[in-house]
A and B are shown apart, each in its own frame.
Chain A
Amino acid sequence: GQQLNQSPQSMFIQEGEDVSMNCTSSSIFNTWLWYKQDPGEGPVLLIALYKAGELTSNGRLTAQFGITRKDSFLNISASIPSDVGIYFCAGPSDMRFGAGTRLTVKP
């Protein structure tokens, strides 16, 4: 099956800092999905990307669909404590998710 690699595995940042994470696939994707999981809860969809080169924002979150269609990026600006959680990427057709980026925000 497809390999999905997310990096970094974890991040420890200060409140107010910007965050960048990315996901790469061994195959071309037609759609990229980004999710956030709060502790003890199910993941929630943050952003969906449908076109190579697409840049989509949702509040302080911005995600991009890479031109090669094998990668995607998620940025969080001006982080706040409630951004803590695990961020997952996924390509819908494969039913698999990346291993996640664990974000810790220090007040």
Chain B
Amino acid sequence: DGGITQSPKYLFRKEGQNVTLSCEQNLNHDAMYWYRQDPGQGLRLIYYSQIVNDFQKGDIAEGYSVSREKKESFPLTVTSAQKNPTAFYLCASTLQGAISGYTFGSGTRLTVV
């Protein structure tokens, strides 16, 4: 079955460390996205990529970095520059134009300890 997989489900990080969240899709979707969700809040766009080897900043890109070396993969690195990284991170993918909707992964909950 096609889908989008995020790993790990839970992640703990010490302050000052970088950490990378994985997102893989086998839907042959062109575009991929990263969102951040804080408790009781909506989804905020971090980065997106519409084609391989290209990506754009979203609304809250500071302290994050991404790469898109393969169509299937869009990893997100939370760097030590991100001041408040504890949150729920969601990855999504769509066909070009997105009119058939976004497919989301099940999320990674990152906690800084």
Interface residues of A (CB under 8 A from B): 30-31, 33, 35, 40-45, 48, 50, 88, 90, 92-93, 95-100, 102
Inter-subunit contact B42/A48 (CB<8 Å)? no
Residues of B within 8 A of A (CB): 6, 33, 35, 40-43, 45, 48, 58-59, 88, 90, 92, 94, 97-107, 109
Q: Complex formed: what's the CA distance from A7 to B59 in Å?
A: 22
| A90→B41 contact, CB < 8 A | no
Known: A95-B45, A97-B43, A99-B41. A48 touches B100 (CB 8 A): yes
CB distance from A27 to the nearest CB of B (A): 16
A99 close to B98 (CB less than 8 A): no
Contact between B101 and A42, CB atoms less than 8 A apart: no
Residues of chain B within 8 A of A30, CB atoms compared: 99
With contact pairs A40-B107, A42-B90 given, residues A99 and B42 touching in the complex (Cβ less than 8 Å): yes
